A and B are shown apart, each in its own frame.
Chain A
Amino acid sequence: MTKFKSKGLYFKFYTFLPIIALFISVLNEFDLNYLKLKYFSFNFPFILIFFFTLKDFKNFDYLLVFLAGLINDTVVGLPLGISSLSYILICIATSYLRNITIRPNPIKDWFYFLFIISLINSMNYSILSLFFSYDLLLLSYLVNIFFTFILYMFFTYLFKYYLRGLND
C-alpha cells in the first residue's frame, strides 16, 4: 500500500482524490453512468458521494458536491439543479444514517443505498417528465439503479482500500 512519509503535496492530492474523481466523472465524456452497453449502466457519482459522505470524509465538501451536480446537469443537458438536488439528497440520507447508526453494517448500508437511489431516481424521473416534459426510458432508470446497487459493494471495497492507504 502507498505510504506517505511526509504529508506533502502528494498526500494532499491523495486526500482530495475522491472529489477530483467526482469532478472528472461528471466532466468527462467517458460517462461511467453509461458505458454504451445494452442493459448496462451505473451511476458512479452516486456511489462515490454515498460512500464518502457516509464516512464523513473531511475533504468531501457539500458545496463541491453541489457544484459537481451543476456541472453534470450542464454536460448531460438536464435542467440546472436536478443532479445537484439528487447529490445533496444523498448527502442528507447518509447524514441521517450516520446519526441513527450505532454499529455500522455494510449490508444494511448497501440496502439503504438501494432505497435511496431508487427514491432519488424516481424523483428525478418525476420532475423531468412532469415539469420539464422529457421523454425518458423507465427501463434505463431501472437498469441503472440495479447495476449501481450491484457495483456498490465492489467500489466500497476499492474505496476502503483507498482509505486504508490514507490511514497508514
Chain B
Amino acid sequence: MASSRDDFIIAIRSAFLKKSTQQKFSLLTLVFVSIFTIILSSFDFKFIRYLKAGISEAVYRSSFIVSIPENFLKNTFFEIKEYSSFFQNYKSNKEELNELKSKSISDQITQYENKELKELINNYTLSSDKLLAKIIVDHDSPYLKSIIINKGSKDNIKIGTNIYDRSYLVGRVVEVNYKTSRVLLLSDLNSNVPVTIAPQNIQAIITGTGKNYGEIKYIKEGISNLILEDSIVYTSGTGAIFKSGIPIGRIDVVDTGNSKKFKVDFYSDFGQLKYVFAELVTKTEVKNEDQQAEIDDTQKINTIDTKLQILEDEKKIIEQTNLKLKEENESLKITINNLNKQNVDFRNELYDQKQIIAQYNIDLDEIEFLRLNLKFGHQCRKSFLNNDGFEVGTLEYKSCVMNKGQIND
C-alpha cells in the first residue's frame, strides 16, 4: 500500500518537475506562470491593460494574416453562391426597392420629427458620425460571440460604442486597443439589450443565446400574450448603453406547449459580416434655466462686443471695396489715356491722308492743265500772230487753257 503511494508521488513529482532534454521550463513553472497570468488579467492594472492591448494588437494582426487563405476560400465560395442566385436576387431587390422608395419619403419626415422631439426631451444633443470598420478576426467560438474590428482608441472608439451593420444593431465594443477593438455581438450569452417591441410598445430585454438568434426575456407578466409574430424589435435606449430606435430584428413566437418562447431573428447575419459601422457620439450639453440666465447676462455684454466686431468687419469690407474701386479707377484712367493717345494718332493719320488726297487733287489739276495746255496752249499764248494771248505762266494764261482756249474779257 505504502509502496503504491510512493510510486504515485514519484510519478507526480516527475511529471511536474522533470524536464526533458528539449524542454526549457518545467511544467510546474509554467502552471505557476499561467495562474499568475490569470490572476493578473483579472486585475485592471494600467500596466496589465497596456500589455494586454499590445499582445492583442500583435495576435489580431497575426490572426488576420493566418486567416487570409481561409477567408479567400470562404469568400470565393460565397461569391459563387451569390452569382448563382444573382438574377433572383435582382428581381426581388427591384421590387423591394420600389416599395422602399415609396416609404422613404415618409420615413425621412418621421426621422426629422423624431430628431426634433428627442432634442426637446434629452438634456443632451447628440451628434454622431459613423465610422466604417473592417472585421479583421471573426473567431466564432461556441462560448463567446465576438468580432475584432480594425479601429481602436486611435479612432476615438470607446468601450460601449455601438456597432452597426448598415442601420441594424450588431453589438457594442467591450475591449479597446490602440488600433483594434473587440465587439461583443448581440448573439453572445452575455449580451443584454433593453428593447421595445413594436407596434405593441412593450418594453423587454433581449439576451443572446450563443446561437444566431436572440431571446426575449424579462417581460412584464401578463403582457406576453400581446406579442405577435413578426413584431419589430428595436432598442429602447433605457440604461443609455444603446441609442434608442435602432432596429434589431423580428419576433418569432415558438409555442412549446406549456409556454411561449420569443425568439428574435436578427436583421443582420452575424456570420456574414465583413464591414461594420462604429458610431462615434459626441455629447453637447443643453444648459438649464439658471445657466441660461447667466449665459444671457454674459451674452448682453458680449452683444456690444459683437456689434463692434460687426462694425469693424463692415469697415474692413468698405475699406477693401474702396481699395478695389481705386484700383479700378486707376486702370480706367490708364485706359482713357491710351484711348486719347490712340485718338491723336488717328487724327494725325487722318490729316496725313487728307494731305495726300489734296496733293492728289492738285496733281490731277496739273495733269488736266498740261493736257489742255498741249491742246489749247497755242490759242492762249501771246505771240506774233496772237496779240490777245497771255504770257506763259500767268494766271490769265492758265485760266485761258483751262477754258479750252477761250479768252475771257
Interface residues of A (CB under 8 A from B): 24, 27-31, 33-34, 36, 38, 41, 56, 58-59, 61-63, 66, 69-71, 74-82, 84-85, 88-89, 91-93, 95-96, 98-100, 127-128, 131-132, 134-137, 140, 143-144
Contacts and interface: CB of A to CB of B under 8 A. Distances in A.
B229 to A, nearest CB: 23
Given A30-B70, A63-B30, A76 B22 contact: no
A81 B63 CA distance: 18
14 contacts: A27-B66, A34-B141, A34-B142, A61-B24, A74-B55, A74-B60, A75-B60, A77-B182, A80-B55, A85-B31, A92-B16, A95-B18, A95-B27, A134-B144
A135 B190 contact: yes
Interface stretch (B35-43, B356-364, B374-382): B35-43
Contact of B142 (A82, A88, A89, A140): A140
Given A61-B24, A82-B38, A95 B14 contact: yes
A69 B30 CA distance: 11
Interface string B5-47: 0011011101110101111110100110111111011100000
Contacts of A33: 141-142
Interface stretch (B132-140, B249-257, B296-304): B132-140
Given A27-B59, A84-B34, A84-B37, A62 B144 contact: no
Nearest to B58: A74
Given A34-B140, A70-B55, A137-B142, A96 B11 contact: yes
B265 interface: no
Given A66-B33, A136-B189, A75 B22 contact: no
A154 B175 CA distance: 38
Interface string B55-86: 11001101100110011000000000000000
Interface residues of B, number: 54
Given A24-B66, A36-B140, A96-B12, A63 B190 contact: no
A79 B211 CA distance: 22
A143 B210 CA distance: 14
B175 A77 contact: yes
Contacts of B25: 62-63, 66
A131 B35 CA distance: 13
Contacts, number: 155
Interface of B: 7-8, 10-12, 14-16, 18, 20-25, 27, 30-31, 33-38, 40-42, 52, 55-56, 59-60, 62-63, 66-67, 70-71, 137-144, 146, 175, 182, 189-190, 210-211, 271
Contact of B143 (A38, A69, A136): A136
Contact of B34 (A27, A30, A81): A81
Given A33-B142, A70-B37, A81-B40, 16 more contacts: A29-B140, A33-B141, A62-B30, A63-B24, A66-B25, A74-B59, A75-B59, A77-B182, A80-B52, A81-B36, A84-B34, A91-B27, A96-B15, A100-B7, A132-B42, A137-B189
A29 B35 contact: no
Contacts of B42: 79, 131-132
A168 B23 CA distance: 25
A27 B62 CA distance: 7
A132 B335 CA distance: 88
A85 B138 CA distance: 24
Nearest to B16: A92
A30 B68 CA distance: 11
A54 B144 CA distance: 30
A90 to B, nearest CB: 10
B16 to A, nearest CB: 6
Contacts of B144: 76-78, 134
B190 A84 contact: no
B11 A81 contact: no
B143 A140 contact: yes
A79 B41 contact: yes
Contact of B66 (A28, A77, A85, A127): A28
B137 A58 contact: no
A17 B244 CA distance: 51
A93 B175 CA distance: 34
A36 B33 CA distance: 33
Contacts of A36: 140, 271
